[in-house]
């Protein structure tokens, strides 16, 4: 009987193996969980174009914004694990399971719902104000905030988003209280600053460098452990005596449970795309260095970063409107 069962099982598994070998046979959707104009979009679109060269299928970037990135991220967490729906995420992916629990909610997803494919970029955020702002330095900003607690406002990509967390890291280190105004993504947060709705923003360099070069924004300091090459005159917070360090990283994920052969092909595809001259040129145009890490190294990087962000979100605590 056993001799009959084993060939039957092998025969049944053959079409599945062949399907995985042939993958992909249709277009992929790369979900960017933020509106156009933010880091996920700036990195995701040229990366998707480079991936198409290897996959021989379209890779369609789909902006699914909302809740600071949680909406689009949840879409991928619940997608079929077949490799046809992938995620271009930022470090905020690690925040929402923590923030949901802090606010008494059941998380919409868990980190275990994702299989990391590769880290693509990792840039420290930069504190920016408008060029007509009275704040010429971090000292000006901190002095004004201490004189007017809770009066200086800043925009972010959403509650508990990377941009929110970065500013709260700085505020905690400086001993100041700021007023947070969340938007539905990094692009709208930049627009709010330029339009005068807010006074400051923690921005990814890629999303701000054009405005800085156009003299519409002034950078005051960076959250990195060393100065940015594109802004060599801008000090780090650590140089100024503030224990504030934070990076906005971008990475590609697939739903957990995606077959190993498909994950392997995605990893190889992203590796080739991250080294593609057209992609690196696109990143150079927005002064964003490629910081590629393959899945095993990316998993370690992600674990460390998630632990740090969990501690920051715990310090921020519950947000009243999210508890309803």
pLDDT(59) > 70: yes
Q: Phi first, then psi: give them for residue 31, nearest 5 degrees.
A: -80, 125
Of 187, 222, 257, which residue sits at a domain end?
222
User: Within this chain, do residues 170 and 24 fall inside the same structural domain, yes or no?
Assistant: no
Higher pLDDT, 60 or 15: 60
Structure tokens at 312: 């920051």
Using a 10 angstrom Cβ sphere, with 0-12 exposed, 13-18 middle and 19 or more buried, the burial of residue 320 is exposed
> Which pLDDT value is given to residue 10?
52
Structure tokens at 158: 């959403």
User: Within this chain, do residues 132 and 116 fall inside the same structural domain, yes or no?
Assistant: no
Q: Is residue 166 part of a domain?
A: yes
> Which pLDDT value is given to residue 190?
92
Lowest mean pLDDT among 102-106, 285-289, 312-316: 285-289
Supply the pTM of this predicted model: 0.79
CA–CA separation, 48 and 215 (whole Å):
31
> Which pLDDT value is given to residue 184?
81
> Which pLDDT value is given to residue 26?
98
pLDDT(14) > 50: no
User: Within this chain, do residues 273 and 305 fall inside the same structural domain, yes or no?
Assistant: yes
pLDDT(1) > 80: no
CA–CA separation, 305 and 122 (whole Å):
11
Residue 86 near residue 266 (C-beta atoms within 8 A): yes
Containing structural domain, residue 12: 2-122+248-323
Name the band, by pLDDT with cuts 50, 70 and 90, for residue 197: very high
Q: Phi first, then psi: give them for residue 16, nearest 5 degrees.
A: -65, -45
Average pLDDT, the chain: 91
Name the band, by pLDDT with cuts 50, 70 and 90, for residue 73: very high
> Which pLDDT value is given to residue 52?
98
Q: Is residue 237 part of a domain?
A: no
Q: Which residue has the tokens 């150079």?
A: 284
CATH number at residue 21: 3.40.190.150
User: Within this chain, do residues 59 and 112 fall inside the same structural domain, yes or no?
Assistant: yes
CA–CA separation, 149 and 165 (whole Å):
18
> Which pLDDT value is given to residue 11?
55
Q: Is residue 227 part of a domain?
A: no
pLDDT tens profile 212-257: 989 999 999 999 989 988 889 999 999 999 999 998 899 999 999 9
Percentage of the chain exceeding pLDDT 70: 92
pLDDT tens profile 96-119: 999 999 999 999 999 999 999 999
Q: Which of 132, 162, 133, 151 is nearest to 68 (CA)?
A: 162
CATH number at residue 174: 3.40.190.10
CA–CA separation, 39 and 248 (whole Å):
8
User: Within this chain, do residues 132 and 194 fall inside the same structural domain, yes or no?
Assistant: yes
> Which pLDDT value is given to residue 118?
98
126 forms bridges with which residues in the sheet? Answer: 203, 222
For the chain, strand residue ranges (E) read 28-32, 59-63, 85-90, 114-124, 126-130, 153-156, 179-182, 200-203, 217-222, 247-255, 290-294
> Which pLDDT value is given to residue 32?
96
Q: How many beta carbons lie within 10 A of that of residue 226, not counting itself?
A: 10
User: Within this chain, do residues 88 and 112 fall inside the same structural domain, yes or no?
Assistant: yes
Q: Is residue 235 part of a domain?
A: no
Dihedral sign, Cα of residue 229, residue 231, residue 235, residue 238: negative
pLDDT tens profile 248-272: 899 999 999 999 999 999 999 999 9
What letters, b where the CB count within 10 A reaches 16 and e where it falls short, cover 173-193? bbebebebbbbbbbbbbbebb
**DSSP code, position 235:** P
């Amino acid at each position: 009987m056993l001799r009959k069962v084993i060939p039957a099982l092998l025969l049944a598994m053959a079409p599945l193996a062949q399907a995985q070998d042939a993958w992909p046979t249709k277009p992929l959707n790369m979900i960017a969980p933020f509106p156009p104009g933010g880091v996920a979009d700036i990195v995701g679109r040229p990366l998707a174009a480079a991936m198409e060269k290897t996959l021989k299928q379209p890779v369609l970037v789909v902006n699914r914004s909302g809740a600071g990135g949680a909406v689009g991220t949840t879409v991928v967490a619940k997608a079929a694990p077949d490799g046809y729906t992938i995620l271009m995420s930022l470090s905020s992916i690690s925040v929402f399971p923590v923030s949901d629990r802090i606010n008494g909610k059941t998380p919409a997803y868990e980190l275990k719902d994702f299989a990391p494919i590769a880290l693509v970029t990792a840039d420290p955020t930069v504190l920016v104000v408008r060029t007509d702002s009275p704040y010429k330095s971090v000292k000006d900003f901190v002095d004004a905030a201490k004189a007017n607690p809770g009066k200086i406002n800043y925009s972010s990509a959403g509650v508990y988003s990377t941009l929110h967390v970065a500013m709260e890291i700085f505020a905690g280190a400086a001993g100041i209280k700021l007023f947070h105004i969340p938007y539905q993504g990094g692009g709208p947060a930049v627009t709010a600053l330029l339009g005068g709705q807010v006074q400051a923003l923690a921005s990814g360099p890629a999303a701000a460098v054009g405005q800085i070069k156009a003299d519409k924004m002034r950078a005051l300091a960076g959250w990195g452990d060393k100065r940015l090459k594109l802004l060599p005159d801008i000090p780090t917070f650590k140089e100024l005596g503030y224990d504030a360090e934070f990076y906005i990283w971008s990475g590609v994920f697939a739903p957990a449970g995606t077959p190993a052969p498909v994950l392997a092909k995605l990893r190889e595809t992203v590796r080739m795309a991250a080294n593609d001259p057209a992609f690196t040129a696109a990143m150079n145009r927005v002064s964003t260095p490629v910081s590629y890490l393959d899945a095993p190294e990316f998993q370690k990087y992600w674990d460390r970063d998630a632990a740090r962000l969990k501690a920051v979100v715990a310090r921020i605590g519950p947000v009243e409107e999210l508890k309803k």
